[in-house]
Amino acid sequence: MLVLSRKVGEVVTIGNSIEITVISYDRGVIRLGINAPKSIAVHRKEVYDKIAETNKESSSVEFDMLKNLLKNTEISSVGLEKNKLEHLAIHNTKKD
C-alpha cells in the first residue's frame, strides 16, 4: 500500500486519467475531490460493498430461477416426447 501525505489543495494522480484532490480537512474529516472518466465507477467502500452484495444475491436468485426453468423444461420435454410417442402409437395402430 502506498501511503502519502497531502495538504489541502494538493493532488494525487492515478494513471493518466484519475486525479484525487484534498479539498478540506476539518475535525478529523478529510474531503476528497475525485476526477475520473465516467467509464470508471467511483464509490465509497460501504456503497461498493452493498452493490457487490446486491449483485451476488441477484445472481444467486437468477441462477436458481434458471435452474428451475431448465428443470421444468426437461420435465416438459419428457412429457412432450411421451405424448409424441403415444400419438405415433395411436396413428400406427389405426393404419393396421
C-alpha–C-alpha distance, residues 57 and 37, integer Å = 28
Cell of residue 10, nine digits: 494538493
Cell of residue 52, nine digits: 457487490
* Confidence at residue 35, expressed as pLDDT on a 0 to 100 scale: 97
Residues of the chain with pLDDT under 70: 59-61, 74-96
Nearest of 22, 29, 30 to residue 6 by alpha carbon? 22
- DSSP helix, strand, coil percent of the chain (3-state; round to 5): 55, 20, 25
Our measurement of the distance from residue 48's CA atom to the centroid of its chain's CA atoms, rounded to an integer in Å, reads 12
* Confidence at residue 44, expressed as pLDDT on a 0 to 100 scale: 93
